Amino acid sequence: MILPDLVSASAPHPVRPPSPTPPIDQDQLAGTPAGLARLAPLTAALATAAAAGLRGRTGPLPARTPADLAEQVRADLAAAGGVLPDTGRGAAAVVDLIRRYAAGTVDLADPTAAAHLQPPALGVPAAVEAIVAALNASVDTWDSGPYAVELERHVVRALADRLGLPGTADGVFTSGGTASNLHALLIARDAVAGRLAAGGRPVVFCSAVAHFSVSRACSVLGLGADAVRTVPVDERYRLRPEPLADALAGLAGDEVPVAIVATAGTTDFGSIDPLPACADLARRHGCRLHVDAAYGGGAVFSARLRGLLTGIAAADSVTLDLHKVGWQPAPASVLLVADGADFAPHRVDYLNPADDGAAGYDGLLDRSALATTRRADAVKVAATFLALGADGLGALLDRCHHLARYAQRRIEAEPRLELAAGATLTTVVFRHRGADPDALNGRLRRRLLRSGVALVGRTTIAGRGVHLKLTLLNPAARTEDVDELVDAVLAAGDEDREAA
Ligand SMILES: Cc1ncc(COP(=O)(O)O)c(C=O)c1O
């Protein structure tokens, strides 16, 4: 008999002395087989409660003013004995909270939610998030989450390969595009640390419509707000290479070009800077090219749109947010670098001592300059990749792109509306015509916010004023839903006129 032999050969478990204090309720732990089994009914109860909350809704936002909503949350919590009662109220309070939460938060799956680069989450990564949270691994050290560490390496490699980055490429998941851009500029700054220490004045170039996180990063990194030189854009909101070339050629002797930040998918317009020209200029002037593809990087999954990213393979670093075009629950941002040596080795005695590393026990601590404990975000991404494949994600983007093109045509055909920027990716920028259009369009958006029937975005175009924006990231939406959004804007315009 093999089994008894094996059993008798195994070392006996040491008998533990009785615990001097009662153990905590093991039922509360999620990451045990029994805990995971209990997660299913609890999650089912919460999902049912959330669905009930959603069912009572009339639009993407609750039809309440901010003050009314704040009062409702206060009253709800007061009825529950406060947000931190002395004695816990158990699962029933949680079910109640989640029902109210779903009734009162933003409903991104509503097809008329079209304000921000905040997509409705896919089911696969949302479900995986619950299990990942239950197991609560971290990727900073190997022993904090060994499988997660390896998965992150594979997801990073797959993304680098898709973008055409070299075999030396590496990457790291971060807490968002803002953090990825900050980390990229940290690497760029450190690459010229010697020249800056010798008195050089740093300069970072980006287009006039680059994301604000670029100039924020320069401030955080001590480069100074005046380090940022914004380059004018063309009529389609793409950085113009000629003024960039002139600015680089005209740098003073003590000015150090730290980086050119090109955007692949600007927040408002989805415009994509001329990446090959930017790469060429970066090479000629000895500075780094960082591509902020937080929004547009997902085009790499689409056979139809992939060509927009031509030139990205020459980048020194790339920001790519899968919590935008990737339909992941946030966060799922990746910073990719063409040369893994950009991640400075960082040893910490209690986490990743050198002898452990030499023996293969290395996590990803030195990939991450901005975090120690770091979520296993790669797991939900790997799950999504496995479930949908690159083509599946590409099809979702193609669908949203189709909706944006439809919205563009509808707006162009509507005399009361004026198109400012058509669909490159999934956004369309326009405004309602009328006297004092800045005030009018601001009022229209607030009118829609208050009624809760449609959620449109807003932006200001330099020299052209306040505009409205549709950010179409719901692949389940139909063209009829786009019509509903446009009709809601027109109706808000009518109401505004009547109220005047
Ligand atoms: C082009 C671009 N870069 C960076 C960011 C910042 O991303 P996050 O909100 O994940 O920090 C955004 C956000 O919209 C963006 O549009």
Q: Could you tell me the distance, in angstroms and rounded to a whole number, from the CA of residue 284 to the centre of ligand 1?
A: 28
State residue 328's pLDDT score.
98
Rounded to whole angstroms, the Cα distance separating 388 from 402 reads: 20
Question: How far away, in angstroms, is 216 Cα from ligand 1 center?
Answer: 12
- For residue 269, is it within any domain? yes
Which of 321, 328, 370 has most ligand 1 atoms within 8 Å of its beta carbon, as the pocket-test mutant?
321
Residue whose Cα lies nearest atom 8 of ligand 1: it is 177
Q: Which CATH number fits the domain that encloses residue 481?
A: 3.90.1150.170
Q: Phi and psi at residue 60, in whole multiples of 5°?
A: -70, -20
Dmax over Cα atoms in the chain, in whole Å?
91
Tens-binned pLDDT, residue by residue, of the chain (500 aa): 233 333 334 444 556 655 556 555 666 899 999 999 999 999 999 999 999 999 999 999 999 999 999 999 999 999 999 999 999 998 999 999 999 999 999 999 999 999 999 999 999 999 999 999 999 999 999 999 999 999 999 999 999 999 999 999 999 999 999 999 999 999 999 999 999 999 999 999 999 999 999 999 999 999 987 899 999 999 999 999 999 999 999 999 999 999 999 999 999 999 999 999 999 999 999 999 999 999 999 999 999 999 999 999 999 999 999 999 999 999 999 999 999 999 988 999 999 999 999 999 999 999 998 999 999 999 999 999 999 999 999 999 999 999 999 999 999 999 999 999 999 999 999 999 999 999 999 999 999 999 999 999 999 999 999 999 999 999 999 999 999 999 999 999 999 999 98
| Domains: count for the chain | 3
The answer to whether residue 329 is domain-embedded is yes
For residue 190, is it within any domain?
A: yes
What pLDDT does residue 1 have?
29
| Cβ proximity of 472 and 295 under 8 Å | no
Instruction: Report the distance separating Cα 434 and Cα 463, nearest Å.
Output: 17
**292 CB within 6 A, ligand 1:** yes
Q: Are the C-beta atoms of residues 334 and 157 closer than 8 Å to each other?
A: no
**Can you tell me the distance from the alpha carbon of 6 to that of 10, in angstroms, rounded to the nearest whole number?**
6
Lookup result for tokens 């933003």: 106
Asked whether the CA dihedral 311, 315, 319, 321 is positive or negative, the reply is positive
pLDDT score of 17 = 58
Ligand 1 atom nearest the C-alpha of 116 is: 14
Q: Is residue 10 part of a domain?
A: no
- Which ligand 1 atom sits nearest the alpha carbon of residue 333? 10
Q: What is the pLDDT of residue 10?
A: 44
Nearest to residue 428, comparing CAs of 404, 412, 410?
404
Cα(207)–Cα(264) distance, rounded to whole angstroms?
Answer: 11
Q: Is the CB of 273 under 6 A from ligand 1?
A: no
Find the 117 Cα to ligand 1 centroid distance in Å.
8
Which CATH number is 357's domain given?
A: 3.40.640.10
pLDDT reported for residue 183: 98
- Answer yes or no: is the C-beta of 211 below 6 A from any ligand 1 atom: yes
Q: Relative to the CA of 263, which ligand 1 atom is closest? A: 1
Nearest CA to ligand 1 atom 15: 267
Give the C-alpha separation, 296 to 309, whole Å: 8
Question: Is position 170 within any domain?
Answer: yes
Distance 140 CA to ligand 1 centre (A): 24
Q: Judge if the beta carbon of residue 427 lies within 6 A of ligand 1.
A: no
SS3 193: helix
Residues 83 and 168 in one domain: no
From 387, 404, 419, give the residue that closes a domain. Answer: 387
Q: How far is the CA of 101 from the centre of ligand 1 (A)?
A: 25
List CB contacts of 249: < 8 A, sequence separation 6 or more. none
Domain that holds residue 49: 29-104
- DSSP state at residue 436: S
Q: How many CB atoms lie within 10 A of CB 220?
A: 13
Which of 367, 387, 407 finishes a domain? 387
Q: How far is the CA of 121 from the centre of ligand 1 (A)?
A: 17
pLDDT at 425: 98
Report which residue type is found at 30.
A
CA-296 nearest atom, ligand 1: 1
Pocket test for ligand 1, best of 116, 117, 458 (most atoms within 8 A of CB): 117
pLDDT at 26: 62
Cα 189-195-201 angle, rounded to 5 deg: 75
Q: Is 173 in the pocket of ligand 1 (CB under 6 A)?
A: no
